[in-house]
Amino acid sequence: MDKVKIERVSKIFTSQDNVPQTVLAEIDLIIKDGEFLCLLGPSGCGKTTLMNLIAGFEKPTTGSVTIDDQLVVRPHPKHITIFQDYGLFPWRTVLDNVLFGLEAKGISKKEARKIAGEYLELVGLTAAAEQFPRQLSGGMKQRVSIARALAVEPDILLMDEPFGALDAFTRYRLQDELLRIWEEKKPTIVFVTHDIDEAVYLGQKVVIMSPNPGKIKMILPIDLPKPADRSGAEFGAYRREIFRAFALVEEEKLEYMI
Amino acid sequence: MKNQYSLWFGKILTLLIFVGIWQYASQFYSPEQLPGPIQVIKGIQELADTGVLWEHIQVSLLRFSVSYLLAVLVTVPLGLLLGWYTWSWKALDPLLQILRPISPIAWFPLAILWFGIGDAPAIFIIFLSAFFPILLATVSAVRRVDALYLRVADNFGVDKWTLFTKVVIPAAFPQIMIGLQIAVGTAWIHLVAGEMLGAQSGLGYLIVDSRNFLRTDWIMGGMLLVGLLGLGIHLLMGFAEKSINRRWGME
């Protein structure tokens, strides 16, 4: 079933000196229910903007974004975004951060605590419940924000380079945890990244984007068991294919410059 | 640890040198012009013995607390609203920029005309002196709340009131505390000014009144006490700020 439909979407930002800049041009994309989709591309390719349009933080200049056939006009608690900088509230403990979304939903205190406890357990942070974000490592902070997002049972998770600020080992571990959680809860995930390995490892589908203006270059279905063998031959083949796609982008740019 | 000791050594040494210079200089002047430190301490002792001193201190502290708390209670909510509704701040900004450079002391004649002699003019002036630092800090604290927090809250679908009370206010709080701390300093400075001009009691009044008797030792004693009490209040505020920040998870 189609979950998200993006039809002929363009996004034009106008800078302060009135110069319009086309960040996204004529994007068409369909995301299926329960799909794990990665938006991959270099900076400036509009992948974050595309995610913000799905999240409802921004509106397209032309075209439409619909979720479950409903036009997206504003953010919705069923579509939760996870940011690279975590977005945790420093004045709230880990538990209270996870409770935030549940409070907003109007769930009773007792019930909310129970749910928050379950999700903290899911991300392995039960012991840190009473700590403040500043006391946690980056990886732990991102786990809290994942728990906070999942606690309200969203059907779409939008993740904007969520592991971009973490060291490689922590990143690998969190990737595995995310896959495990996805297998368990089956939300639709839109995962923005500029890391080719990460996209191949996580995504069922990798949407490769190119900049100036932001366009979809190629959609590559990844047919690998999850979790995949990072050093396997098939994994390597997908990587090569993506590299080739990006090399193509470079060639075009060269021609353009001549 | 060694560093700690040398730091304290430096502090104490500076004070001792200051007192030494004061003592030395006082030899060249009459006690009416410049009493030495020992004479000033004796003067304070004299005031303390008659019980007048304690009364003045009490009155000053009470006056200060009332006006400062009043300023906090009025100005923080005002600043929160002005910071949140950007248009209102933009509309008020020119007026405030004109009023701000006017020293609170300049309001004194008006304060007397409006409120008469007594506690009210002093309270009014202290209030004014705390008003601007608190207002400006609160407004800028609200306007500088991390957009990411607002985005997260928006995503979870909180209503405007919850957004304001559970996200904006706590996010702005540490910045507001800095404004409150600055305001304590300026308010305390203007306490003396307010009491010199209108009141019949308090440390400011003690200083003016002592001039009438040419009791320079009492004048300087009053000044010394204003300084020491100011230091005490500052330390207390710092302590409060620290413990609040710790609770806020900001340390």
Query: What residue type is assigned to position A11 of the chain?
Result: K
Given a cut of 80, whether residue A249 has pLDDT beyond it is no
- Domain boundaries defined on chain B: 40-247
Residues of B in contact with A79 (CB under 8 A): 155
- Tens-digit pLDDT profile for residues B171-182: 999 899 989 999
CATH fold for the domain made of B40-247: MetI-like fold (1.10.3720)
User: Whole-number mean pLDDT of chain B?
Assistant: 91
Q: How confident is the model at residue A165 (pLDDT cuts 50, 70, 90)?
A: confident
The answer to whether the CB atoms of A80 and B157 lie below 8 A apart is: no
Find, in chain A, the residue whose alpha carbon is nearest to that of B147. A87
- Tens-digit pLDDT profile for residues B190-201: 998 888 887 889
- Residues B27-47 have a mean pLDDT of 92
User: Which pLDDT value is given to residue B197?
Assistant: 81
Given a cut of 60, whether residue A250 has pLDDT beyond it is no
Question: Among A73, A83, A89, A145, which would you mutate to test the B interface (most chain B Cβ atoms within 10 Å of its Cβ)?
Answer: A89
Reported as half-sphere exposure (CB side, CA atoms, 13 A), residue A111 has a value of 8
User: Whole-number mean pLDDT of chain A?
Assistant: 91
Q: What is the complex's ipTM, to 2 decimals? A: 0.88
| N-terminal to C-terminal alpha carbon distance within chain A | 45
Longest pairwise C-alpha distance within chain B: 75
Given A85, A132, A133, which is nearest B148 (Cβ)?
A: A85
- Tens-digit pLDDT profile for residues B112-132: 899 888 888 889 999 999 999
Tell me the three-class secondary structure of chain A, residue by residue.
Answer: CEEEEEEEEEEEEECCCCCEEEEEEEEEEEEECCCEEEEECCCCCCHHHHHHHHHCCCCCCEEEEEECCEECCCCECCEEEECCCCCCCCCCCHHHHHHHHHHHCCCCHHHHHHHHHHHHHHCCCHHHCCCCHHHCCHHHHHHHHHHHHHHCCCCEEEEECCCCCCCHHHHHHHHHHHHHHHHHHCCEEEEEECCHHHHHHHCCEEEEEECCCEEEEEEEECCCCCCCCCCCHHHHHHHHHHHHHHHHHHHHHHHHHC
Find, in chain B, the residue whose alpha carbon is nearest to that of A157. B155
Model pTM?
0.84
- Residues A127-144 have a mean pLDDT of 93
User: Which pLDDT value is given to residue A12?
Assistant: 93
Can you tell me the distance from the alpha carbon of B170 to that of B181, in angstroms, rounded to the nearest whole number?
17
- Tens-digit pLDDT profile for residues A26-72: 999 999 999 999 999 988 899 999 999 999 999 999 999 999 999 99
